[in-house]
């Protein structure tokens, strides 16, 4: 289930970017991606991964970008998410 959710999340994110940053598709993709991640590695490990002290800057930008996308500012939100993603997985 988790791999399917992550796959659909990535599909909706890609499709949302191809359709000129459609905020509904991007928001749906973000929600599916994060819920799939929780299904794959578990809630506690996901929480532990995102909220480690060295990764707080990346987490704040990533989750802030998700919130900005949900508030229907897709371009700014995706830029923040991309920066946070790079900082998280550096």
Both 46 and 56 in one domain: the answer is: no
Q: What percent of the chain has pLDDT over 70?
A: 100
Q: How many domains does the chain have?
A: 2
Output the pLDDT for position 7. 97
Output the pLDDT for position 11. 97
Which phi-psi region, left, alpha or beta, contains residue 61 (left: φ > 0; alpha: ψ -120 to 50)? Answer: alpha
Both 21 and 46 in one domain: the answer is: yes
Place of tokens 């992550």: 6
**Number of neighbours of residue 1 by Cβ within 10 angstroms:** 9
Both 46 and 8 in one domain: the answer is: yes
Output the pLDDT for position 9. 97
Which phi-psi region, left, alpha or beta, contains residue 21 (left: φ > 0; alpha: ψ -120 to 50)? Answer: left
Both 16 and 46 in one domain: the answer is: yes
Both 6 and 25 in one domain: the answer is: yes
pTM over 0.85: yes
Output the pLDDT for position 87. 95
- Rounded Cα distance between 81 and 66, Å, is 7
Mean pLDDT of 63-74: 95
Average pLDDT for the chain = 95
Give SS3 for 81. helix
Both 6 and 46 in one domain: the answer is: yes
Angle at 47 between CA 89 and CA 13, to 5 degrees: 55
Output the pLDDT for position 90. 87
pLDDT in tens, 74-85: 999 999 999 999
């Amino acid at each position: 289930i988790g791999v399917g959710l992550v796959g659909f999340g990535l599909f909706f994110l890609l499709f949302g970017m191809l359709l000129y940053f459609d905020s509904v598709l991007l928001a749906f993709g973000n929600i599916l991606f994060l819920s799939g991640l929780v299904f794959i590695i578990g809630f506690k490990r996901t929480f532990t991964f995102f909220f480690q002290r060295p990764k707080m800057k990346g987490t704040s930008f990533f989750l802030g970008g998700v919130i900005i996308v949900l508030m229907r500012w897709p371009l700014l939100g995706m830029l923040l998410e991309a920066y946070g993603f790079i900082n998280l997985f550096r």
